[in-house]
Amino acid sequence: MMVSAVHAPESLPAATRLLDHGGRVLGGGTLVMAAVNAGEAPSSELISLHRLGLSGITITEDGVRVGAATPLRDLLGEPGLAFLHPALRGIGSPTLRNTATVGGNLFAGGPYGDLAVCLLALDATVTVAGRSGTHATTVTGVTGTGGIVTSVRFGIPEPGTWRYLKAQRRRLNSASIVSVAAVIGPRADDAAGSTRIALGGVAPSPVRATSAEAVLAGRPLTATTAEAAGRAALADIAPADDAYASAWYRRRVLPVHLRRALLG
Amino acid sequence: MPSPPSSRVVTLVVNGTPREFLTAPGGSLLSALREKLGLTAAKRGCGQGSCGSCTVLVDGNAVLSCLLAVETIDASSVETLEGVANGTELDEVQQAFLDGFATQCGFCTPGMIMAAEALLSAEPDPGRADVVEAICGNVCRCTGYQPIVDAILTAARQRAAGGQP
């Protein structure tokens, strides 16, 4: 499809009106412009977010708020988000990260979207503006909402509780074979003390490894329980063959990789 | 809402000079540079952000110009390889590429040099790992990368010694 207009609304109501008329969001461009260049624009009417003031990072004792249009580069410049930096540095190249945005990463889809995997493990709240105002959803709830993602909010995990590990073809600029992000319970804000595990590269979009979480619930994290969790996670995935790995290989890698991620 | 596609006027400061041109809806910065402004150093390789041959600087940051809708960066400052040399005098990075045989077919070279320029502006004394990371989005199918990495490190040393303006 050819592009007939790139709108640059200056208010969210104006942007959501355009969305309701069939327009599609253009963020940093790394996903949508790639489609445009291939003659596969998601709509003839694109809605650029660049005049909406949706970029910026705020860190308070209540947590972190990141505007949807914030480039990934800006997160790498924020010392308060150091725990996310290894994951961020695994996304594309520095050049790509100068324009790729936080909001866009939620729509990257497997085997991309490592930040979305992290945000799912962090139980991030995603704010979406739509026709009837804004509402809060989750990382897995953004698709099909018919709105515009405006920000994500999450808490910074307690020291020593964050895990992230990515299996990839190369050390730099490689899509995911398997990405694992986890917050090891107990957390201050989670009385049940549960561990949250999110996986990337093994399904069309990031998934919670609920079967693995169930194995760990109420049990100490040991080599034995971590290995059992790794095997259990096979029930949570729907891997595909792609240019980076086969579904077979992803299934082979996941249990080992999840065990390694959990044990740090 | 549907209306006939209409071109839009965009103004950029390109290599220090204000340039005004018309862009078709959804046109990329790369298309504008090559087709509107006649600046053909930045190359159209994949059009998907995978190869880095279109790398230029926008407001000092290295970007993939094929993935930027040019009408969304109106009034920005753009630097391309054409603006790197001082007249006929190559800058340190260009000279090091030439001296170190870091160019073979040359298709990746403009993007490689702009990625290197962005690195050296931010980090004048990079280590080898910094250089490798800085160009990890730039594909070269000829050199095997080592002469390119060597050239960028050489350029950093020469710039530090020579006092680049």
Q: In Å, how far is B89's CA from the nearest CA of chain A?
A: 27
- Is residue A193 very low, low, confident or very high in pLDDT (cuts 50, 70, 90)? low
Mark yes or no for CB contact A3/B5 under 8 Å: yes
ipTM of the complex: 0.94
Instruction: Give A33's contacts in chain B (Cβ within 8 Å).
Output: 26, 28, 49, 66-69
Residue A189 has what pLDDT?
A: 44
User: Out of A91-95, A150-154, A241-245, B2-6, which region has the weakest mean confidence (pLDDT)?
Assistant: B2-6
Mark yes or no for CB contact B26/A95 under 8 Å: no
Beta-sheet strands, E only, within A45-91: 45-48, 57-60, 63-67
3 state DSSP class of B162: helix
Mark yes or no for CB contact B63/A99 under 8 Å: yes
Which residue in B5, B25, B115 is closest to A95 by CB distance? Answer: B115
Instruction: Give B49's contacts in chain A (Cβ within 8 Å).
Output: 30, 33-34, 92, 96
- Is residue A1 very low, low, confident or very high in pLDDT (cuts 50, 70, 90)? confident
Instruction: Give A4's contacts in chain B (Cβ within 8 Å).
Output: 2-5, 25
Contact residues, B window 84-143, toward A, CB-based 8 Å cutoff = 115, 118, 132-134, 136-138
Q: Are A97 and A76 in contact (CB under 8 A)?
A: yes
Supply the mean pLDDT for chain B.
95
Mark yes or no for CB contact A8/B72 under 8 Å: yes
Q: How far apart are CA A188 and CA B138, in angstroms?
A: 43
Contact residues, B window 34-93, toward A, CB-based 8 Å cutoff = 47-49, 52, 55, 61-64, 66-69, 71-72
Instruction: Give A95's contacts in chain B (Cβ within 8 Å).
Output: 52, 55, 62-64, 115, 118, 137-138
The model's pLDDT over A107-152, given as tens digits with 9 standing for 90+, comes to: 999 899 999 999 999 999 999 999 889 999 999 999 877 899 999 9
Residue A220 has what pLDDT?
A: 87
List the single best residue of A16, A33, A36 to mutate versus B (max B Cβ within 10 A): A33
Q: How far apart are CA A63 and CA A162, in angstroms?
A: 15
Of A18, B15, B151, A238, which Cα lies nearest the Cα of A6? A18
Q: How far are the Cα atoms of A13, A19, A106, A160 from residue A132, in angstroms, in the given order? A: 9, 13, 22, 41
Which residue in A2, A33, A92 is closest to B137 by CB distance? Answer: A92
Mark yes or no for CB contact B63/A2 under 8 Å: no
Q: What are phi and psi of A153, to 5 degrees?
A: -130, 140
B4 contacts chain A (CB < 8 A): yes
Q: Is the pLDDT of residue A55 over 80?
A: yes
- Which residues have CB under 8 Å from A169's CB, separation 6+? A175, A177, A244, A245
Alpha-helical runs (H) found in A44-105: 72-76, 85-89, 94-97, 102-105
Q: What percentage of chain A has pLDDT greater than the value 70?
A: 97
- Average pLDDT estimate for B121-126: 97
Mark yes or no for CB contact A46/B48 under 8 Å: no
| pTM of the predicted protein model | 0.95
Which residue in A6, A23, A89 is closest to B72 by CB distance? Answer: A6
CB-based burial label for A247 (10 Å; 0-12, 13-18, 19+): middle
B60: how many CB neighbours lie within 10 A of its CB? 12
CB-based burial label for A261 (10 Å; 0-12, 13-18, 19+): buried
Q: Are A48 and B69 in contact (CB under 8 A)?
A: yes
Of A58, A65, A57, which Cα lies nearest the Cα of A152? A65
- Is residue B98 very low, low, confident or very high in pLDDT (cuts 50, 70, 90)? very high
CB-facing half-sphere around the CA of A194: CA atoms within 13 A: 16
Q: Is the pLDDT of residue B17 over 70?
A: yes
